[in-house]
Structure 1
C-alpha cells in the first residue's frame, strides 16, 4: 500500500528508491500528468527492451520521447500520449522493430490499463 501525506502544496510518499513529491505545481513536485506519461512511456520502453533482447537483436540504446495532448475543457484530461522511440543498434530492420513494438503494447501493463480511455500512439526511428 502506498501512503501519501499532505504537504503545504501537494503530497509525498516514501518509496524504496526515495521520496516522491506530487503536486499540481512543478515547483513542489512532479505533476500527475507527468507521472502518468512517464509510467506509460517507460513501461512500454522497458517491455520493448526485454522483447528486443529476447529476440537477440543488438540494441545499444533506446531513447524515448513522449508528447501529451490534454483537453482543457475536460479538466485537462490526457487524451493522447505519443511515444517515439529512437533505437540505436546493429543490423536492426524496421519490420522487426514494428513487430516488437506491437508485442510490447500488448504486454505493457500501463498501456493496457489506459486502453480505451487514452490513445497511445507509438512511432520509432532507427538511428
Structure 2
C-alpha cells in the first residue's frame, strides 16, 4: 500500500497538507515568520503516534470485550537542542477510567500495540528512546 500527501505553500510559513482522510494546516510561531494559523509539524508527529497506538488499543479492547469509560493517550517528546532538532526521548502514557477495569486485558492490548501493531511506534523507535506506561484513574 502506498500513501501520498500533497502539501502546498499558502504564503509566509503556512502550508496546507492533503492527507488520506482530510487536510492539515501547518504554520510557525509569529516570532519566526509565521502567523500562528496552524499546527507545528514536530508535535503533529507526536499526535500521529498517539492516534496510531490509541486506535490499536481501542480495537483490541473491543475484541477482548474489555470496556473502559474513558481513554486518552498523552505523548511527551524531548526535542534535541542542536539542529536538526528531533525527538530523542519519547514517553507514551495511556490513561484509562472505568468500573471494574480488566487490567490484564488492558495491559495486553497496550503491549500488542507497542510491540506488534503500531507502525508509528516502530518508526519512532528508529530515532528515539521510546518508553510507555499505563495509568488507571
TM-score band, normalised by shorter chain: 0.7 to 0.9
Greater RCO, 1 or 2 (C-alpha within 8 Å, sep 6+): 1
Residue number in structure 1 paired with 2:90: 81
Q: Match for 2:52 among 26, 43, 49?
A: 43
Deviation at 1:104, TM superposition (A): 1.0
Secondary structure of the structure 2 residue equivalent to 1:99? helix
The equivalent residue for 1:111 is: 121
TM-score normalised by structure 2 residue count: 0.80
Q: How large is the RMSD of aligned CA atoms in angstroms?
A: 2.0
TM-score (norm 1): 0.86
- Asked if the contact 2:79/2:86 (under 8 Å) is kept, the reply is yes
CA distance in 1, matches of 2:113, 2:23: 29
Say whether residues 1:30 and 2:33 are aligned partners. no
Shift of 1:100: 1.7
More off after superposition, 102-111 vs 6-15: 6-15
Once the two structures are superposed, the pairs formed by residues 46-65 of structure 1 within 5 Å of their partners are: 46-65=55-74
Q: Which runs of 5+ in 2 are unaligned?
A: 30-34
Matched, 1:4 2:42: no
**How far off is 1:85 after superposition?**
1.4
Aligned partner of 2:32 in structure 1 is none
User: In structure 2, what is the equivalent of residue 21 of structure 1?
Assistant: 25
